[in-house]
Amino acid sequence: MSLDNVKAVVLAAGKGVRMKSERAKVLHEVLGRPVLDYVLRNLREAGVEDIVVIVGHQADQVRKAAAGCRFIEQGEQKGTGHALAQAEAALQGFAGDLFVLAGDAPLVGPKTLLRLLEEHRLNHRDATFLSACLDDPSGYGRVVRDRAGGKFLRFAEEVDATPEEKNIPESNSGEYVFRAPAVFEALRKVKPDNKKGELYLTDALAVLVAGGRTVDACRSLNPNEIYGINSRRDLVAATNFLRWRVLERHMDLGVTIVDPSTTFIEEDVTIGADTVIQPFTVIRRGVTIGSRCEVGPFAQLRAGTVLEDEAEIGNFVEVKKTRVGMHSKAKHLSYLGDAVLGAHVNIGAGTITANYDGVGKHQTIVEDGVHTGSNTVLVAPVRVGKGATTGAGAVVLRGEVPAGATVVGVPARPLARKKPPALRSSSAGGAKEGPSSNGARPRRKVKGGRR
Ligand code: UD1
Ligand code: MG
């Protein structure tokens, strides 16, 4: 449901110096999705449609990661207040409620955003910010309140805070709702009077307080959600936070995850009920798994993979952009890429689809009921017809294996059918010598015995 009279600005122009990266901070990924994508999705799930993104560092890439938004370029990054001020012209005439969110805070979900807006509206405020009391608030702006009444006064940024202010646990999340005209008016009065020489958005709230406007915090119910991404360590903390959220969602839908602490399931994965995910398994974004499947241990399913019901993918198997049909199995040491497997296929240990010829990717089609022998290589493009079998170590070159055929060798050729042995009459001494009844030669004793 879309919210009336609400717009948003997301600040995403910064480089993210503390990441020590060439890549803009908001483009770093958490569980397969850019940090910025979480922020935008949280807003959209809360019902905000008109989103302005402030871009600067790697602006083109950031634009690509934020489809469907409006963009404004902040040529030089002179602070969060300066960043928001760039949006004033684009929001000319808008007098409603404006979310302003840091593009590096992916964990504040839609429910919290809606609480923030609700508190803001119920109390008829000019500004409401989301705060939380953190065990370790270092790096965050501290919420400075009046000692007597606890009224919000201003923020003290980490670099500018006194030792006493650094002991304040209540921290600023960097997520705000403003009455739009009020914040732009206040920003005009903000000065770069701080150690970084930046125009702080946080100072705009102090300007509002000094001007007698109503400003206060909405306390987060889950303090961990206010953690932003400023360093590689934060990336791990956010990954762990979101990882558990994803795993719990699958468990609630009837999926057994044997060891959540070693299982990585990215966002946008669908898994059917009664599927079992064994330990040390990685399932990447965009994978679909049916019901009653088994995956792992030590398996990786990559983007574009679909497992139909009752499929089984075992240890040291990597599957990419491949459809595995119902009740088909690849249990050991395989790579299946750009392939389509029918139903009841058995992929022998060590079978590899050679999908890449150094120039392009090619498809492998394995029809229903095929069995591949251990260490088969299927050199794509190749089709293995219904019910066919490959021998151990077969290298099946581009082309087609006819339905029902058995191919062996390097390169793989149809197995030559031996002539059935001539029948002997029973009077010729029975089966003491000569071929055994199944056509195979009798085993010879190894000369010389054991050495
Ligand atoms: C900011 C807040 C701090 C708060 C914290 C929460 C300020 C001054 N401080 O600090 O009180 O506790 O967030 O995470 O606002 N950006 C721009 N242009 C700029 C500068 C920054 O677009 O010129 C963007 C960044 O890309 C980032 C966001 O604004 O997405 C926040 O900037 P960042 O430098 O991470 O601020 P913090 O130091 O985390
Ligand atoms: Mg930050």
Residue 391 has pLDDT above 60, yes or no: yes
Which protein residue's CA is at the shortest distance from atom 37 of ligand 1?
140
High-pLDDT (> 70) share of the chain, %? 93
Ligand 1 atom with the smallest distance to the CA of 15 is 26
Specify the pLDDT at position 156.
98
Using a 6 Å cutoff on CB, does residue 202 contact ligand 1? yes
Give residue 442 CA to ligand 1 midpoint distance, Å: 80
Ligand 1 atom with the smallest distance to the CA of 200 is 8
Q: Note whether 103 and 26 are within 8 A (CB).
A: yes
More confidently predicted of 124 and 449: 124
Specify the pLDDT at position 422.
75
Average pLDDT across the chain, whole number: 93
What does R_g of the chain's alpha carbons equal in angstroms? 32
Domain-wise residue ranges, the chain: 6-226, 232-413
Q: Which pLDDT tens digit goes with each residue over 161-218?
A: 999 999 999 999 999 999 999 999 999 999 999 999 999 999 999 999 999 999 999 9
Which of the 8 DSSP states describes residue 356? B
Q: Look at residues 305, 313, 242, 243 and name the one whose alpha carbon lies nearest to residue 275.
A: 313
CATH superfamily of 232-413: Hexapeptide repeat proteins (2.160.10.10)
Q: Which pLDDT tens digit goes with each residue over 83-134?
A: 999 999 999 999 999 999 999 999 999 999 999 999 999 999 999 999 999 9
β-pair partners for 52: 9, 70
Residue 434 has pLDDT above 60, yes or no: no
Give residue 292 CA to ligand 2 midpoint distance, Å: 43
Give residue 61 CA to ligand 1 midpoint distance, Å: 19
Ligand 1 atom with the smallest distance to the CA of 140 is 12
Specify the pLDDT at position 389.
98
Residue 271 has pLDDT above 70, yes or no: yes
CB neighbours of 306 closer than 8 A, spacing ≥ 6? 287, 288, 289, 322, 323, 324
| Shortest-distance ligand to the CA of residue 141 | 1
More confidently predicted of 440 and 172: 172
Name the residue of 80, 101, 133, 190 to mutate for ligand 1: max ligand atoms within 8 A of Cβ. Answer: 80
Specify the pLDDT at position 435.
39
Q: Note whether 231 and 194 are within 8 A (CB).
A: no
CA–CA distance, 12 with 84 (Å, rounded to integer): 10
| Shortest-distance ligand to the CA of residue 172 | 1
On the question of a common fold for 6-226 and 232-413, the answer reads no
Q: How many Å separate Cα 270 from the centre of its chain?
A: 12
344 is known as an active-site residue: no
Give residue 352 CA to ligand 1 midpoint distance, Å: 48
| Shortest-distance ligand to the CA of residue 171 | 1
Give residue for tokens 């083109």.
Answer: 60
Using a 6 Å cutoff on CB, does residue 86 contact ligand 1? no
Using a 6 Å cutoff on CB, does residue 125 contact ligand 1? no
Using a 6 Å cutoff on CB, does residue 54 contact ligand 1? yes
Q: Note whether 390 and 347 are within 8 A (CB).
A: no
Residue 340 has pLDDT above 80, yes or no: yes
Catalytic residue selected from 250, 332, 344, 371 = 332
Mean pLDDT of 375-401: 97
CA–CA distance, 126 with 182 (Å, rounded to integer): 7
Specify the pLDDT at position 247.
98
Using a 6 Å cutoff on CB, does residue 26 contact ligand 1? yes
Give residue 254 CA to ligand 2 midpoint distance, Å: 37
Specify the pLDDT at position 258.
98
| Burial of residue 167 (number of CB atoms within 10 Å: 0-12, 13-18, 19+) | exposed
Q: Look at residues 129, 117, 97, 138 and name the one whose alpha carbon lies nearest to residue 204.
A: 129
Give residue 225 CA to ligand 2 midpoint distance, Å: 13
More confidently predicted of 435 and 218: 218
More confidently predicted of 398 and 1: 398
Q: Which pLDDT tens digit goes with each residue over 279-320?
A: 999 999 999 999 999 999 999 999 999 999 999 999 999 999
pLDDT band with cut points at 50, 70 and 90 for residue 445: very low
CA–CA distance, 68 with 49 (Å, rounded to integer): 9
Ligand 1 atom with the smallest distance to the CA of 25 is 26
Assign domain 6-226 one CATH number from 3.90.550.10, 3.90.79.10, 3.40.50.300, 3.30.1360.120: 3.90.550.10
Using a 6 Å cutoff on CB, does residue 203 contact ligand 1? no
Specify the pLDDT at position 439.
35
Ligand 1 atom with the smallest distance to the CA of 105 is 14
Q: Give the Cα-Cα-Cα angle 67, 74, 181 (nearest 5 degrees).
A: 90
| Shortest-distance ligand to the CA of residue 79 | 1
Using a 6 Å cutoff on CB, does residue 39 contact ligand 1? no
Residue 160: how many CA atoms within 13 Å on its side-chain side? 18
